[in-house]
Amino acid sequence: MLKFILKVFVIFLPFAVVITLLCGLVAVSMQQYIREGASDPQIQIAEDLAAQLSQGIPVSSFVSGTKVDIRSSLSPFVIVYDKTGNVLQSNAQLNGKTPAVPQGVFDINKWKQPIVGHHLAFDFPQNETRFTWQPTDDVRIATVLVYYSSQKQSGYVLAGRSMREVQTRIENVYLRVFVAWVVTLFATLIAVIFAKVELRSLSRRN
């Protein structure tokens, strides 16, 4: 019996490795696809606003007075900074005030342009970067930062949106891939055992 189990294991192991790698690839690919899609509205907002600011239009003309609570709301929000990273206009609110992005975001922009982006997105403009911002443990934001410059002003436009629904979708993908992985492994194991039993039966008949 032990010898039979070992033979089944030896046959099953390569299948298990391939199935695991394929499921892992599917999970990672879907996670990246969903994550990159989470930035689509922010890309349009930030790029359009930066383009208009580059034409010299005043910052106060764009950002509305309606505040977006980034912990509870799924609405996109905008923060406009000057060239040193100070807030000029904002409709984002967290705990009653505009949340502060890590200063390193602006330091990278000053140190090296174009900014190298994140999340395997290589085709965006040189003055733009996209990243995940986590101002508190329970808040994750899909963020786009665009640099703008004109004769009168220069600075940064940040557009963001909560990743709450995106995280739920990613978790659902992981769950479905995990279930598919378990079912496929089990079905493959049964198939290997059945094939081995049939081969043993045939060898005995012969």
Angle among Cα 82, 83, 88 to the nearest 5 degrees reads: 5
pTM: predicted TM-score of the whole model, two decimal places: 0.76
Q: Walk along the chain (206 residues) in steps of 10 and give the mean pLDDT of each run.
A: 80 93 96 90 92 81 78 94 90 92 72 40 64 91 90 88 94 96 95 80 64
The 3-class SS string of 113-156 reads: CCCCCCCCCCCCCCCEEEEEEEEECCEEEEEEEEEEECCCCEEE
The alpha-carbon radius of gyration of the chain (Å, integer) is: 26
pLDDT value, residue 118: 41
Both tokens of 5, joined, read: 């189990």
